[in-house]
Amino acid sequence: MKVTIDGHTVEVEAGTTILQAARQIGGDLVPPAMCYHSKIENTGGKCRVCMVKVTAGSEKDPRPMPKLVPSCVTTVQEGMVIENITNPQVLEARKNVVELLLINHPLDCPVCDQAGECKLQDLSYEHGIVDSELVEDKRVFDMVDIGDKIKLHMNRCILCYRCVYLADQLTPERVHGVMFRGDKAEISTYISKAIDNEMSGNVIDVCPVGALTDKTFRFKSRVWFLKPMNAERDCDKCCGKATAWMFGNEIYRVTSRHTKYGEVEEFICNTCRYDKKFITDWKITGPRDFGQASVINQNNYVQQLKKVVINADKRLL
């Protein structure tokens, strides 16, 4: 099927969502996604930051869709024409949604472990306005421990439901869900039960904000001081492919590998994540590449190295 996004035409399979089609083109026109995660079933459609304008529904019926549509759950039609960053209405709506997401967000980035790899932070820098018009108090929750390794900081949660659906996917019965409603809704586990699963640590990785954090890493270091490395080990429970975040020879934390859209490539088990923190546990295969825009890669030696080599070559010639 042929679809056009911001003037770029791409051939995709039937059943592809607009977001996936945009990712096939790549670049700036990819809508941001906070709640959608391609590895977790049923996700998407909740955070509303990926809304795009469909200016022609399909070749057969070229009428525009009346409302903005969430690109992560809307499948493409033959001849669909979509506007994302070229449409001011879309950018306005995205800005509005980001502003609404931020009104109850504590904005405690200076003390938040997610800072630097936080989707909401990126979005608010990109779209948000600096001063909020909210003068009232924000909603406040108490911090909760989910098991002995995961900390739930509900104030920061944007209720993307990623962890809920992931827990549904991992566990046979429902142990993790949402309680209450409206802005009082909170992520919670079944009364006095934690997610008892070998893969439960992945909820930390799928969380787009700092609501779920790794207790073994809390307040240890800022992520941009660490060097992310591709690490491998033989694991009988998972794929054994992870990212080791290192400072010198020390491994500060282990996470799964993320794609450039912040999605987990392959889930890793809790043993790999929490217990293997010595350099001898892992085989380091090389540096992990993050996008140029990421704060984590700001001082990335690989890119600098490349630059140096090229400059050196030029000078040699």
82, amino acid identity? I
Using alpha carbons, select from 281, 229, 56 the residue that is nearest to residue 69.
56
Rule CB under 8 A: say whether 172 interacts with another protein. Answer: no
Kindly tell me which of 133 and 236 has the beta carbon lying closer to another protein.
Answer: 133
Interacting positions 20-79 with another protein (CB under 8 A): 44-49, 51, 67-68, 70, 73
| Binding residues for another protein, total number by CB under 8 A | 34
At 312, give phi and psi (nearest 5°). -60, -40
Q: Which of 23, 114, 161, 233 binds another protein (CB under 8 A)?
A: 161
Q: Are 268 and 242 in contact (CB under 8 A)?
A: yes
* Burial bucket for residue 246 (CB in 10 Å: 0-12, 13-18, 19+): buried
Q: State the nearest-atom distance from the C-beta of 183 to another protein, in Å.
A: 4
Q: State the nearest-atom distance from the C-beta of 5 to another protein, in Å.
A: 20
Rule CB under 8 A: say whether 211 interacts with another protein. Answer: no
CA distances from 192 to 144, 199, 202, 215, 242 (A): 11, 19, 20, 18, 31
Rule CB under 8 A: say whether 181 interacts with another protein. Answer: yes
Interacting positions 119-148 with another protein (CB under 8 A): 133-134, 136, 139
Using alpha carbons, select from 245, 154, 256, 276 the residue that is nearest to residue 201.
256
Rule CB under 8 A: say whether 93 interacts with another protein. Answer: yes
Rounded to the nearest 10 degrees, the angle between the axes of helix 119-126 and helix 88-103 is 130
Q: Which of 4, 55, 96, 169 binds another protein (CB under 8 A)?
A: 96
Rule CB under 8 A: say whether 305 interacts with another protein. Answer: no
216, amino acid identity? T
Q: State the nearest-atom distance from the C-beta of 275 to another protein, in Å.
A: 35
Residues in contact with 253: Cβ distance below 8 Å, sequence separation at least 6, in sequence order = 214, 216, 217, 220, 226, 244, 245, 277
Q: Which of 85, 103, 115, 284 binds another protein (CB under 8 A)?
A: 103
How far apart CA 244 and CA 226 sit, in angstroms, is 9
Kindly tell me which of 39 and 46 has the beta carbon lying closer to another protein.
Answer: 46
Q: Which of 159, 235, 279, 284 binds another protein (CB under 8 A)?
A: 159
Residues lying near another protein in the complex (CB under 8 A): 44-49, 51, 67-68, 70, 73, 93, 96-97, 99-101, 103-104, 133-134, 136, 139, 158-159, 161, 177-178, 180-185
